[in-house]
Amino acid sequence: MTIDKLGTILSDTKQNFTKNKIDLPVATSDLGDDWTAELAEKVDVVMSNIHPFFAGVTVEEAAGWTWTFWQGHDISLTQGTTKSNVISEVGWPSGGGTDCGTDATTCAQGSVAGIDEMNTFMDSFICQSLANSTSYFWFEAFDEPWKVRFNTKGKEWEDQWGLMDPGRKLKPGLKIPDCGGKTVD
């Protein structure tokens, strides 16, 4: 869908809300790389999907990479405005292989999918987000078995992003971070 087409849908939605005396923000969610100033002008909230796993960064670098990417690309789109900015998807898969990013010519390390790595990313990203007031939605609560159709050989993680398995049970070995008892203000 083009930005113009999406802009028309967003504008029509805003007009319909106004006509019906509904006061709600209108937004869309897209990949962090796909947000442009033109698209940001058309929404009340910029909602960016930012997955460091697909950038091929190590899990130790992932929380910092996410913050730096978001600040440098998406937050800058709303500077000088009253628009909100939210990371609409962020997470790490619990299994399925290694991603080296789209620009890699070799893959010595890359992003490794696994429970230990998911724990490391959650601990660093969630606690960092509490400290710097980053608004985000964790991707995702449950594994989605239907996404197995998107898996390819060596990249079998599409159905493994949940904190819980499809039966709604916390994955073995997964540790929800405490962040020193800090909670959202």
The CA distance from 38 to 5, in Å, is 12
Question: Is residue 9 one of the residues assigned to a domain?
Answer: no
Give the pLDDT of residue 184: 75
Please give the DSSP secondary-structure letter assigned to residue 74: I
Question: Is residue 13 one of the residues assigned to a domain?
Answer: no
| Tens-digit pLDDT profile for residues 147-159 | 999 999 989 999 9
Q: Report yes or no: 59 and 19 within 8 Å, Cβ to Cβ.
A: no
Question: Is residue 173 one of the residues assigned to a domain?
Answer: yes
| Tens-digit pLDDT profile for residues 15-65 | 999 999 999 999 999 998 899 999 999 999 999 999 999 999 999 999 999
Q: What is the 3-state secondary structure (H, E, C) of 55-83?
A: HCCCHHHHHHHHHHHHHHHHHHHHCCCCC
Question: Is residue 62 one of the residues assigned to a domain?
Answer: yes
| Tens-digit pLDDT profile for residues 72-118 | 999 889 888 999 999 999 999 999 888 877 665 566 678 899 999 99
Number of domains in the chain: 1
Report the chain's terminal Cα–Cα distance, integer Å. Answer: 38
Kindly report the pTM of this predicted structure: 0.88
Instruction: Indicate the residue type of 109.
Output: Q
Q: What distances in angstroms separate CA 66 from CA 56, 75, 107, 121, one per listed residue?
A: 12, 12, 20, 10
User: Using alpha carbons only, how large is the chain's radius of gyration in Å?
Assistant: 18
Please give the DSSP secondary-structure letter assigned to residue 93: -
Question: Is residue 17 one of the residues assigned to a domain?
Answer: no
- Extract the tokens encoding 39: 């698209």
CATH of the domain at 73: 3.20.20.80
Crossing angle of helices 115-132 and 59-69, in 10° steps, is: 40
Residue carrying structure tokens 């299994």: 95
Q: Which residues on neighbouring strands pair with residue 38, listed in sequence order?
A: none
